[in-house]
Amino acid sequence: MSSRRLRRVGRPQSGSGGFTLVELVVAMGLFAMLLAVLMTAVVGMEENLRKTQGIADASDQARLAFDRLDRQLRYATAVNRPVLVGQNWYLDFSTLNMSGSKECRQWRLDSAGQLMQQRSWTGTPAIAPAWVTAASGVVNDPASQQPFVFVGADAQHPTQQVVVDLVVQRGAKPPGHAETRATLVARNTDPTTVTNGDNNGDGVSDQQVCQELPRS
């Protein structure tokens, strides 16, 4: 009887076997592959979120600069043709302040600092006013992406206009880019405004306003 019991105990019971070493290695390999795929997807989502946020921030920066320049330029009495000095683009124009005196306004794209800046003055100040930053991360190529384009007043365009084209970059890894382009109108100008003329074709207004300070 004891021999029967021994034989019965020695039989393998169905469903009681565990994982073999090969099966365990294969399962771990599959889990590692699945984990790698999931991690890649998560990293991709994070990059897309950062880029989307960067684009939103860049658009906000461009909009702030456009709004501020538009508020000033719409009341301009004369607009100089933009000029490139070194690697920086400058836009000068005059307005009338509350007392009726001429106020000069100057905008520049500081290419090295990637800054859109502005300053203003009346008369000829002894000390040049400090630049105030209107937007950062402006990455226009000064040679191929001119930020300011002058449109003179004539029969087709009864007022002077400035086409503003800004390329703004914000964020990192990867950065978000936003290019914004708009035409701003100087409502107090007309075809007789002195800065319209460029008879020698050098791209600079023959008779300029707001040259009291150097472009630097």
> Within 10 Å of residue 11's Cβ, how many Cβ atoms?
7
Average the pLDDT over 3-28 and give the result.
64
* Lowest mean pLDDT across 98-102, 142-146, 187-191: 98-102
Of 130 and 38, more confident:
130
pTM, rounded to two decimals: 0.77
CB 162 within 8 A of CB 147: no
CB 208 within 8 A of CB 198: no
The long-range contacts involving 110-118, CB below 8 angstroms and separated by at least 24 positions, are: 111/87, 111/140, 111/142, 112/87, 114/138, 114/139, 114/169, 116/65, 116/147, 116/166, 118/68, 118/69, 118/72
Q: Over 70: is that where the pLDDT of 6 sits?
A: no
pLDDT at 15: 53
Tell me the backbone φ, ψ of residue 23, rounded to 5 degrees. -60, -40
Between the alpha carbon of residue 154 and those of residues 159, 162, 193, the distances in Å are 7, 14, 10
Of 94 and 22, more confident:
94
Of 155 and 4, more confident:
155
Averaged pLDDT of the chain: 86
* Residue 67 tokens, joined: 């709004």
Q: Over 80: is that where the pLDDT of 42 sits?
A: no
List, in order, residues 6 or more apart from 67 with CB less than 8 Å away: none
